[in-house]
Structure 1
Amino acid sequence: MLLPSELADLSVNPVPEGGRVIELRTSDHVRLRAAFWPATVAQPRGTVCLFQGRAEQIEKYFEVIGDLRERGFAVATLDWRGQGGSSRLLRDPRPGHVRRFSDYLFDLEAFHEGVVQRFCPRPWFGLAHSMGGNILMQLVRARRAIWMKRIVMTAPFFDFGAFKISRARIRQLSTLLCALGLAGRSIPKPFRKNAIVRSFEGNPLTHDRDRFERTAGLLEFHPELGIDAPTIGWVRAAEASMRWLGDPRLAFSVTEPILMIGCGADRVVSTAAVERVARRLKTAAYVGIPGARHEIMMESDVLRDAFWASFDAFIPGSDARPPARDDAAPGEAVGAARSLSRGEQS
């Protein structure tokens, strides 16, 4: 069992050198685990604040942290409330639960004050995956994301993916069940397919077996870092967070440059919803990566290269590129990225 001040260090997934773990307390009294790594260059290009998706943990992103540091950035990150090394919100630690998505803004407030302002060289950028993208959009909409100069979102969770029932029906059912006192219960088994992924075969997350098994091995050694399916209350909170994305006023309240990455083979979130939101925002751009599953930063090398090419083109000063691989044709990674909407790109 890890202490709150520790990171899991495995031979197949070692902790990047030079970092520090920081324990935070939110204003609503939730304990969070955060971490910071300085850049590996004398003159950092800034700090990338890395925000994970549902059911993830800091350790899963060690490779990504290394990629960002190689580009000259410092990296700051945290485990959201209810997952990773942060406090759970229910007596049973396994279900993924939150009362409402706006509660995650307390986590961002504590992270900004306790990590970013204390340790991180400017300028500050955001890199958010899945649920992290939804949370950052709430921060942007509330006009509280000004401290991030630019934001990249991968497969942001703006709508459910391969659900067989409509969002209106999800709202009705989750509201009813929560009213009956079942908010803390896990979602029914028929809806857990993409929420709990145990086997590499047919998984909706990545084509890369090694990266998939690396995460599986982490959770085998440290099951306390993992969570299972979301609760009914979490689903109700997620659906509520999506409704305001259809508000016409959203287009006028967002001024931060945002790059949204859509994954062409994503079954976890709706790629169409990502593109739709990006097209409505005046300062957003959309890039689609054909064939990529939900976790583009954990994907096979050629698909990851397409992501990093887009990241490098959007985040100022990150002129480093991943080393060329013998099995990649010239221009293969860049050619896989397809820009589909206007937006500030430099």
Structure 2
Amino acid sequence: MFYSNSNELSHNLAAIEQHWQYCNKGQLSSAYGDIFYVHYAPINPRFTVVIVNGRIESAIKYRELLWELALNDIAVVTFDHPGQGMSSRLLDNPQIGHVNNFKQFRDALQHIIDTLVLPATDNWLFMAHSMGGAIVCDYLQNNPNSSAKGAFLCAPMLQINTAPYPTWLASRIAKLACQLGFDKRYAIGQQDYREKLFFDNELTHCEKRYQLFQELYQQQTKLQLGGVSFGWLNAAFSLTNKLNNASFNFPISIASAKQDTIVKPDAHAQFANRNAQCAIRSYAGKHELLCEVDPIRRAVLTQFYEFADSVTLNETGS
């Protein structure tokens, strides 16, 4: 079940890169430009997982996970959101993370599902991280009859940590800035991509995985994305406010990070309490649980495998 660990990661990099090169990759045209996608299916997949990544991320960052899922006979479809990664950027300054409305992200996800997932299988589920978790929830709320079997949400963006500003103030500032026509400008305190040293990072305790991520963005500068615009922030507040009052009649499993400073872990527990089919487990990690130290990462993946097996059809079809 587990094929990767941080101590042997350097030895596995060749195999991980080989698998990445073997994956089917391409671009889908959309109303928001080209959407970069990655698709891999083993000969007899147990099921298909649609990986919906977080802000500033790219499918290529998940190469280790894609390799490990393939060794577990799991098919994968993943992609880069409009405005980041290897998809088309939405502003003249490609560093600004911008969106007018999260419907743009939902539309891109729908396009991926319609084009790459539904023609191939009806035995599929979501795995989503951070902003991707909010996008999946938005998708499910607008598609209550989705054929997806379930959604595994890893540190989902249900409430943003706006410290040192209170959320109500940050929300009002973002809305006012958009009304004044500053929607495509960096929000307060945001700037172009800047590398952070490991000791100063808010993402993971795993130095090896963090350094690989940093090296990837140094080597492929087109992946770099800076902070968010007032427009993105206003749209994010609008969506998270809606999700905080939403109920889902759908199997959901949440992995929450106790040391998360990017999103608010308390919102995960509140979401689970509102939704009878939602289970939650908390881990002593930072925001990127899928890139954490091995004991945490393996526990999170165990949660995913158990959830996936409980909601998808197994190999005998029962």
Q: Same fold (TM over 0.5)?
A: yes
Q: Indicate the residue corresponding to 1:24 in structure 2.
A: 28
Q: Deviations over 1:109-142 (max 9, x none)?
A: 2101221134x44411110000000001011111
Q: Deviations over 1:264-299 (max 9, x none)?
A: 11111000011111110121111111x210000000
| Contact in 2 for aligned 1:200/1:209 (Cα 8 Å) | yes
Q: Indicate the residue corresponding to 1:171 in structure 2.
A: 171
Structure 1: state its 5+ residue gaps.
1-9, 320-346
Q: Indicate the residue corresponding to 2:128 in structure 1.
A: 128
Counterpart residue type for residue 81 of structure 1 = P
Q: Indicate the residue corresponding to 2:316 in structure 1.
A: none
Q: Secondary structure at the match of 2:146?
A: coil
| Contact in 1 for aligned 2:202/2:260 (Cα 8 Å) | yes
Q: Indicate the residue corresponding to 2:157 in structure 1.
A: 157
**C-alpha separation between the residues in 2 aligned to 1:169 and 1:103?**
25
Q: Deviations over 1:25-80 (max 9, x none)?
A: 22x242100110112xx421010111100000011001111121122111000000
Kindly state the Cα deviation for residue 13 of structure 1 after the two structures are TM-superposed.
Answer: 6.2
Q: Indicate the residue corresponding to 1:286 in structure 2.
A: 280
**Residue 186 of structure 1 pairs with residue 189 of structure 2:** no
Q: Deviations over 1:234-278 (max 9, x none)?
A: 11110111111232xx22xx2220001100111110000111111
**C-alpha separation between the residues in 2 aligned to 1:75 and 1:129?**
15
Kindly state the Cα deviation for residue 188 of structure 1 after the two structures are TM-superposed.
Answer: 2.2
| Contact in 2 for aligned 1:206/1:295 (Cα 8 Å) | yes
Question: Structure 1 residues 296, 145: CA separation in 2 closer, same or farther (over 3 Å shift)?
Answer: farther
Q: Indicate the residue corresponding to 2:300 in structure 1.
A: 307
**Residue 295 of structure 1 pairs with residue 267 of structure 2:** no
**C-alpha separation between the residues in 2 aligned to 1:70 and 1:317?**
20
**C-alpha separation between the residues in 2 aligned to 1:161 and 1:170?**
10
**C-alpha separation between the residues in 2 aligned to 1:286 and 1:192?**
34
**C-alpha separation between the residues in 2 aligned to 1:169 and 1:181?**
19
Question: Structure 1 residues 94, 242: CA separation in 2 closer, same or farther (over 3 Å shift)?
Answer: same
Worse overlay, 274-283 or 195-204: 195-204
**C-alpha separation between the residues in 2 aligned to 1:277 and 1:196?**
33
Kindly state the Cα deviation for residue 223 of structure 1 after the two structures are TM-superposed.
Answer: 0.8
Counterpart residue type for residue 129 of structure 2 = H
Identical counterparts, % of pairs? 26
Worse overlay, 94-103 or 179-188: 179-188
Q: Secondary structure at the match of 1:128?
A: strand
Q: Indicate the residue corresponding to 1:141 in structure 2.
A: 141
Q: Secondary structure at the match of 1:188?
A: coil
Q: Secondary structure at the match of 2:22?
A: coil
Q: Secondary structure at the match of 1:201?
A: helix
Question: Structure 1 residues 96, 202: CA separation in 2 closer, same or farther (over 3 Å shift)?
Answer: same
Kindly state the Cα deviation for residue 317 of structure 1 after the two structures are TM-superposed.
Answer: 7.0
Choose which of 253, 256, 269 in structure 2 pairs with 1:259.
253
Q: Deviations over 1:304-345 (max 9, x none)?
A: 0110121122111799xxxxxxxxxxxxxxxxxxxxxxxxxx
Question: Structure 1 residues 59, 145: CA separation in 2 closer, same or farther (over 3 Å shift)?
Answer: farther
**C-alpha separation between the residues in 1 aligned to 2:16 and 2:260?**
26
- Per the normalisation by structure 2, the TM-score is 0.88
| Contact in 2 for aligned 1:57/1:85 (Cα 8 Å) | yes
For the aligned residues, what is the CA RMSD? 2.2
Q: Secondary structure at the match of 1:56?
A: coil
Q: Indicate the residue corresponding to 1:327 in structure 2.
A: none
Q: Indicate the residue corresponding to 1:329 in structure 2.
A: none
Q: Deviations over 1:129-172 (max 9, x none)?
A: 00000001011111256121111000000111251222211121
**C-alpha separation between the residues in 2 aligned to 1:284 and 1:168?**
27
Question: Structure 1 residues 273, 98: CA separation in 2 closer, same or farther (over 3 Å shift)?
Answer: same
**Residue 270 of structure 1 pairs with residue 264 of structure 2:** yes
Q: Indicate the residue corresponding to 2:39 in structure 1.
A: 36
Kindly state the Cα deviation for residue 92 of structure 1 after the two structures are TM-superposed.
Answer: 0.7
Structure 2: state its 5+ residue gaps.
1-12, 313-318
Q: Indicate the residue corresponding to 1:89 in structure 2.
A: 90
| Contact in 1 for aligned 2:204/2:291 (Cα 8 Å) | yes
